[in-house]
């Protein structure tokens, strides 16, 4: 599988909006997939959001995988539903939903170490899919620590990492800290976007930066 695995420093870091921007105006071979989605009891889910914001047809954003109602960690939502999330099953679903010629933008749930079951985390899923990781960092208090910890986990795990995308307001504290302490580059920033903001221009800039760093 070709593509990237999009993770965040934590929940609501801006992963879905970054994914939508990357897909807005992208070549037809670019597709979006969310392997694990919780919170569907109260929300339509991230696949619906990306379809709407990036104006994607259903076949370019297949809504398949683990789908759970409670807005809690995947491992706990699955436990409440009497299920166990298995990485092998998700990898098989990926093979069915995404073609070999596709470029997959795969969005994780929560942060990199969000548990899927009693043994595995989102990091293990990224490794199983064989995709390099893009880290979305929300500009807010605590983001520096979360970003550097995420980078360290990626480096120690051996899973390839591409860089950071910042989301939200410009934050000189965050950017200066990452410049001084991080090894990964900052590939771009997606500012606060009012509803119905066209994302294609932001997406083109992010795609160009991303393609320069793909292995």
Evaluate whether residue 138 is within a structural domain.
no
Exposed, middle or buried by CB within 10 Å (0-12, 13-18, 19+), for 120?
middle
**Which residues belong to the active site?**
34
Task: Report how many domains make up the chain.
Answer: 1
pLDDT of 194 > 80? The answer is no
Is residue 152 included in any domain, yes or no? Answer: yes
Any idea what the Cα angle at residue 21 is, between residues 39 and 1, rounded to 5°?
80
Q: Which domain holds residue 14?
A: 8-101+109-128+146-162+169-213
Calpha distance 85→118 (Å, rounded):
9
Q: Is residue 187 part of a domain?
A: yes
| Cβ contact 156:187 at 8 Å | no
Of 44, 42, 47, 41, the C-alpha closest to 15 is 47
Output the domain CATH number for residue 17.
Answer: 3.40.50.300
Residue 113 within any structural domain of the chain: yes
Mean pLDDT of 66-74: 95
In-domain check, residue 136: no
> What is the average pLDDT value for the chain, to the nearest integer?
95
pLDDT digits (tens, 9 = 90+) for 162-177: 999 999 999 999 999 9
Q: Is residue 1 domain-resident?
A: no
């Amino acid at each position: 599988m070709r593509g990237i695995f999009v993770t965040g420093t934590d929940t609501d870091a801006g992963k879905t909006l970054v994914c939508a921007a990357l897909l807005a105006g992208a070549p037809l071979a670019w597709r979006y997939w969310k392997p694990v989605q919780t919170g569907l009891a109260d929300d339509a889910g991230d696949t619906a959001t990306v379809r709407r914001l990036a104006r994607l047809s259903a076949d370019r954003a297949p809504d398949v995988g683990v789908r759970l109602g409670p807005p809690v960690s995947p491992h706990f939502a699955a436990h409440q539903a009497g299920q166990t999330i298995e990485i092998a099953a998700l990898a098989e679903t990926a093979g069915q939903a995404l073609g070999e010629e596709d470029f997959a933008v795969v969005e994780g749930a929560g942060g990199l170490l969000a548990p899927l079951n009693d043994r595995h985390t989102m990091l293990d899923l990224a490794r199983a899919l064989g995709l390099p990781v893009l880290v979305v960092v929300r500009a807010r208090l605590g983001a520096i620590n979360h970003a550097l910890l995420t980078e360290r986990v990626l480096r120690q795990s051996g899973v390839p990492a591409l860089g950071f995308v910042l989301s939200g307001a410009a934050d000189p504290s965050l950017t200066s800290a990452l410049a001084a302490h991080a090894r990964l580059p900052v590939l771009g920033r997606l500012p606060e976007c009012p509803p119905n903001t066209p994302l294609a221009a932001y997406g083109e800039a992010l795609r160009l930066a991303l393609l320069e760093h793909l292995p």
